[in-house]
Amino acid sequence: MRTIDWVNGAIELIDQTLLPQRVEVHRVTELPQLIDDIQRLAVRGAPALGVAGAFGVALIAASVQAEHGDDELDRDEVRRQAAILREARPTAVNLSWGVDRALTKLDAGAAAILDEAVLIRDEDIAACISMGLRGADLTRELAAKDRVSVMTICNTGSLATVERGTALGVIETLFEQGSLIEALPLETRPLLQGARLTAWELERMQAPFRLLIDSAGPFLLSRGIADAVFIGADRIAANGDTANKVGSFSLALAAQHAGVPFIVVAPESTIDMRTASGADIEIEDRGVDEVVGFGGTRTAPAGIDAVNPAFDVTPHDLITAIVTERRVILLSRGETLESVSLESLRS
């Protein structure tokens, strides 16, 4: 089952707000629908947002062309609507990356835009397979063990990509290779993506796991519960600073204290060399409502304020390694995104 795809002239995506109680595929035929799905987290996860951005431009182009009823595509109108889509969520660089890459085919027409979006989808699937293999090998090497227990936060599985996933894709690969003792997902407050989504995916793959309360993660790392910590990323700055689901920073601090490898798993499209450091990453605050209640039930006193950052930034000096589909950058050994560049790999 793919999280997001192009089917018969429209975007189809799993509505993640309904999981795990109900699996429902939402068919998106208009830009406002897609923006709403992105903002209410019906589709989420950096790589999936990249695919959504590309398919969104294909949807815009098809709609604009149909509206004008001629062979000439109104490129200015496509760009105008694409700019609105591009800003639907500010922290995850993949959304704007997917929009911008699809727009490179604008002069070639609507069909070429769709072809590029489909290519982005297929590349994402292949990237997740590659990240899983690289990450599994690296984990065994760093832990110096054939079988490991691993901790993770938020959801980085197939629901955050198209298939398999980034950090959870590594866990899936370890499981398939017989190297997983257990996975230890955190519940991930306030929207419980770990409890609702990651636990659902681990159960579907029949992998051994236990769900942890968020506040216990750092303490349990100090007690040796895990051999490694995996996170995904919504943006990786040029110096290696990484924005991910809020709670990642505290796990990185605890992992350093415990001497446990802290590994970021994300596709190359999540690396933003135009952003110098984590200080330059805009952090989305999702407002009060998600904090003061859940599932339609109020859990806090009426009228109070709240701080609800969706992400935090883990400094590069707390990160052991970054794993992409193309390379492994061992930050803990002094490697950088520039020193282990794609150009050097090609040469």
Catalytic residues: 234
- Calculate the alpha carbon distances from 203 to 172, 196, 289 in Å: 11, 11, 29
Residue located via tokens 């975007």:
11
With beta carbons less than 8 A apart as the criterion, state whether 209 and 225 touch.
no
Tell how strand 148-152 and strand 228-231 pair up. Answer: parallel
User: What is d(CA 61, CA 49) in angstroms, rounded to the nearest whole number?
Assistant: 18
C-alpha closest to that of 166 among 213, 191, 201, 141? 201
The whole-angstrom separation of Cα 340 and Cα 330 is 9
Q: Tell whether omega for the bond before 190 is within 30 degrees of 0, i.e. cis.
A: yes
Q: CA 169 to CA 167: how far, in whole Å?
A: 5
Question: How far, in Å, CA of 242 to CA of 228, rounded?
Answer: 17
Helical packing angle, 75-86 and 31-39, nearest 10°? 20
Instruction: Specify whether the CB–CB gap between 155 and 231 falls below 8 A.
Output: no
Residue 278 CB neighbours (<10 A):
21
Q: Hey, what are 12's tokens?
A: 């189809």
CA distance linking residue 168 with residue 201, whole number of Å: 9
Rg (CA), the chain: 20
| φ, ψ of residue 164 in degrees (nearest 5) | 70, -65
Distance CA(276)–CA(108), nearest Å, equals 33
**30 near 66, Cβ under 8 Å?**
no
48, 162 Cβ separation under 8 angstroms: yes
